[in-house]
Amino acid sequence: MKYIDEYRNPRLARTLLEAIRRRVSRPWTIMEICGGQTHSIIRNGIDQLLPDTIELVHGPGCPVCVTPLESIERALLLASKKEVIFTSFGDMLRVPGSSRDLFMVRSEGGDVRVVFSPLDALQIARDNPSREVVFFAVGFETTAPANAMAVHQAAREGIGNFSILVSQVMVPPAMRAILRMPANRVQGFLAAGHVCAVMGYEQYLPLSAEFHVPIVPTGFEPVDLLAGILKTVELLEDSQPEVVNSYGRVVSREGNLAARGTIDKVFEVVDRQWRGVGLIPESGLGLRSEYAGFDAEKRFHLSHMSTEESPLCMSGSILQGVMKPDGCPAFGAECTPQHPLGATMVSSEGACAAYYNYHRNL
Amino acid sequence: MNILSACPAPLMQHETVQMAHGAGGRLSQELMQRVFMPHIQNAFLDILDDQAKLDLPPGKIAFTTDTYVVSPVFFPGGNIGELAINGTVNDLSVGGATPLYISTGFVLEEGLPLTELEAIVRSMAAAARRAGVMIVTGDTKVVGRGQCDRIFINTSGIGLIRNNTALSCRNLQLGDAVILSGTVGDHGMAIMTSREGLSFHSRITSDSAPLNAMIAAILDEVPSIHAMRDPTRGGVAATLNELASSSSVGIEIDEAAIPVKDDVRGAAELLGIDPLHVANEGKLVLVVAAHDAVKVLAVMRSSEQGRDAALIGRIVEEHPCMVVMQTALGSRRIIDLPPGEQLPRIC
């Protein structure tokens, strides 16, 4: 298949693996930021094929995993309200709150609908003027433009029964937080290709310069990932802590200016809680005051929610690259996809789910 | 006696299903005479008794039932009616049975257009003719608007098991070959990409089809097939896991050998779903002694439903009860049961 097969070509992958083997002279620890990259690495067994001297650790780039428990509880509360049609991307439905998930709310009578785009949620609002339609606006910079567009469109059309529950986060502040941790072991980053497609790679230049760390925007196919790893290894071996774009067919320096403009028009930078990690300053997006009427938290007067994480769950350490999923004592025992202790085991992009689904006992 | 010629029906007064269509009165009769009987009448149904009196040849009987609640009801490549017939035909066939008779139970939502119901019944009749089975009894109920999703259909089927077969999921032997009759994920992906709300359109069509003719040809040639399953819900991944668990053996499959249509692969990529977890409605997973694999493949490939058949793996001693894939890159990974409902990812 054009544009996929080329990047899954086993011969090309073997050539890149050889080049990595030839280039590595000592151990390096590299973090892939995005959960999609983690899944591709584990699913294709790239970690098995790399030389032992390269350790891949998995980053916080899973929007489902990092959505704070308090936001999940708010979603559950809103979805339970009779007047509300609660809309969400599919993979949020299975994420456990303190005691239940959106599937359970739906089975109890909540009107919970899976949508493929926030604009579909807006259409549901147009079609149901007597109901309140809430969209769960979760995600990184990749989902922000469409979420912003839905709000902008609702404002322009004067749609009064639409709002979004915002849990929008950004990648560079999370990378900064990881690099500042005393326990940090990360020496180089594979940046998330689709985030860079929206935001460009220029946002990583200050980070790379400040922490002397190579950052390589990378795609998701095996050949993309191996090319990104090779470039990172080359930069590490040559002591060149720079930002080098390895995903040129998708990513540019400035990114998608129209999408960035839409984000800036609707959202502003705010502090944000990350599940398992804690508060990261200036790491999120919130609605600007002129769009406050579309903020579900304000519309429904949602105050502080009490939440309770499992004390056994190590997802915070896993999301920060300090621990690997199979190093967690609860992995595969108390914590499985059927009985997850945390979101990293249940999300389709979670590192624990990737290890459990593709590698356990192998 | 043909009821249509004996009792001319009144003109249809309604364009949609009414509660009274299920109440057993005049409208129920009208529905039967005008929508169902013209398409599926036969010697058993025409009698209009409460049961079909069947002549069954001596031997072991296979009996199965399944209920169809697919949404949307009409999808690229088929509709719920033919799906209900093909599904039951296939459930009988993979047990080594020749399908003979089928019952149908309809739950209709008030307001369902009668033209849609008739189209569904017509395609059920066509599917039954194609598979060589008879619809011999049936039932219709109507529920209020919102109490079901347009139409639910239950079909049960009876078939006669061939004398010289002993198919079972517990029969898998070390070294056996695992064969797949064609491309994976076509039906489930056709359904997913035709649902409202998806922002892209595809040309993926369902693979809904009866497998009984192909299976009969295979069993004529190689009666000693060890196991057969149709990988419907849960896809090929679920079927292989069930087979591995039932026989307490490991299954090793080769990623490069698994046929997947380009458009199915593309849609699966977009939605973040593994095609091996996606439902099929016209595919067969078969396990046979390795020395018979070439013969089975040749029979499959000579039939319409099996022209893309492939040898995808083998039964191994290692990792009992688990399915492991050799990836195209040369690494290995587990193929697990799907976690539940297939959910499109965020990004």
Average pLDDT, chain B: 92
Residues 6 or more apart in contact with residue B123 via CB below 8 angstroms: B78, B79, B81, B82
Contact at CB, A90 and B345, closer than 8 angstroms: yes
pLDDT at B2 exceeding the cut of 60: no
A-B contacts (CB, under 8 Å): 101
**Would the CB atoms of A45 and B329 count as touching at under 8 Å?**
yes
Per the domain annotation, does B224 fall within a domain? yes
Q: Do B346 and A337 touch (CB under 8 A)?
A: no
Query: Do residues B83 and B153 share a domain?
Result: yes
Could you give the residue ranges of the DSSP H alpha helices within chain B? 3-6, 26-31, 37-40, 43-46, 80-93, 114-131, 186-194, 212-221, 235-247, 262-271, 293-301
Instruction: Tell me how far apart the alpha carbons of residues A86 and B29 are, in angstroms, rounded to a whole number.
Output: 43
Chain-chain contact of B347 with A43 (C-beta, under 8 angstroms) = no
Tell me whether residues B265 and A4 touch, CB distance under 8 A. yes
Claim to verify: residue B150 and residue B290 sit in the same structural domain: no
Each residue of B307-321: pLDDT tens digit?
A: 999 999 999 999 999
Q: So what's the pLDDT on residue A125? A: 98
DSSP, res B136: E
3-class SS at B63? strand
Nearest to A357 among B272, B332, B334 (CB): B334
The answer to the question of residue B182 being in a domain is yes
The runs of H, that is alpha helices, within A81-115 are 102-107
Which of B161, B190, B220 terminates a domain? The answer is: B161
Note down the domain range covering B234. Answer: 176-334
Domain shared by B187 and B329, yes or no: yes
Among B111, B138, B161, the domain boundary falls at: B161
Q: Which of B251, B316, B329, B335 to mutate to test the interface with A (most CBs of A within 10 A)?
A: B329
Q: Please give the domain boundaries of chain A with CATH numbers for all domains.
A: 4-62+171-238 (3.40.50.11750)
| 8 Å CB contact of B334 and A362 | yes
Measure B341 CA to nearest chain A CA, in Å.
Answer: 9
Contact B297, B309 (CB under 8 A): yes
The residue of B198, B318, B332, B347 whose CB has the most chain A CBs within 10 angstroms, and thus the best one to mutate to test that interface, is B347
Residue B9, pLDDT above cutoff 50: no
Residue B168 belongs to a domain: no
Q: What domain count does chain B have?
A: 2
Interchain CB distance below 8 Å, B334 and A36? no
In a domain, B343, yes or no: no
Among B128, B246, B228, smallest CA distance to B178 is for: B228
Dihedral angle at the C-alpha atoms of B196, B200, B202, B204, nearest 10 degrees?
-60
| Contact criterion met (CB < 8 Å) for B334 and A42 | no
Interface membership of B343 toward A (CB under 8 Å):
yes
Same domain assignment for residues B108 and B140: yes
Tell me the average pLDDT across B38-56: 87
* pTM of the shown model: 0.89
Tell me, yes or no, whether B157 and B182 share the same domain: no
For residue B345, give the nearest of A14, A115, A349 by CB distance. A349
Indicate whether B185 and B314 sit together in one domain. yes
Within a domain: B1 = no
* Shortest distance, CA B336 to any CA of chain A (angstroms): 6
B192, two tokens: 């997913």
- Measure A138 CA to nearest chain B CA, in Å: 8
pLDDT digits (tens, 9 = 90+) for B106-136: 999 999 999 999 999 999 999 999 999 999 9
Full pLDDT tens readout for chain A, 362 residues? 566 778 889 999 999 999 999 999 999 999 999 999 999 999 999 999 999 999 999 999 999 999 999 999 999 999 999 999 999 998 899 888 888 899 999 999 999 999 989 999 999 999 999 999 999 999 999 999 999 999 999 999 999 999 999 999 999 999 999 999 999 999 999 999 999 999 999 999 999 999 999 999 999 999 999 999 999 999 999 999 999 999 999 999 999 999 999 999 999 999 999 998 899 999 999 999 999 999 999 999 998 888 888 889 999 999 999 999 999 999 999 999 888 888 899 888 899 999 999 988 77
Q: Which residue of B has its CA nearest to A345?
A: B339
**Residues B74 and B192 placed together within one structural domain of the fold:** no
Contacts of A211-214 with C-beta under 8 Å, sequence gap 24+, read A211/A176, A211/A179, A211/A241, A212/A241, A213/A179, A213/A186, A213/A187, A213/A188, A213/A189, A213/A241, A214/A187, A214/A188, A214/A189, A214/A240, A214/A241, A214/A242, A214/A243, A214/A244
pLDDT attached to residue B3: 41
A194 touches chain B (CB under 8 A): yes
Chain B: closest CA distance from residue A307 (Å): 24
Query: What's the CATH code of the domain at B136?
Result: 3.30.1330.10
Domain co-membership, B234 together with B302: yes
Contact A143 B347 (CB under 8 A): yes
pLDDT at B238 over 50: yes
B238 and B121 co-located in one domain: no
Per-residue confidence (pLDDT) for residue A204, from 0 to 100: 97
Of B134, B161, B188, which residue constitutes the final position of a domain? B161
Please check whether residue B104 lies inside any domain of the structure: yes
Say which CATH number the domain at B190 has.
3.90.650.10
Largest CA distance in chain B: 70
CA-CA distance, B312 to B259, in Å (whole number)?
Answer: 9
* Residue B95 and residue B137 in one domain: yes
The reply to whether B59 falls in a domain is: yes
pLDDT, average across residues B263-275: 88
- Average pLDDT on B263-289 reads 93
Of B160 and B6, the structure prediction assigns the larger pLDDT to B160
- Does residue B22 lie in a domain region? yes
Peptide bond into B72 cis (omega under 30): yes
Same structural domain for residues B197 and B261?
yes
A positions 72-101 inside 8 Å of B (CB): 89-94
Cα separation of B53 and B136, whole Å? Answer: 9
User: In this structure, are B53 and B183 located in the same domain?
Assistant: no
Rounded to the nearest angstrom, the gap between the alpha carbon of residue B161 and the centroid of all alpha carbons in its chain is 19
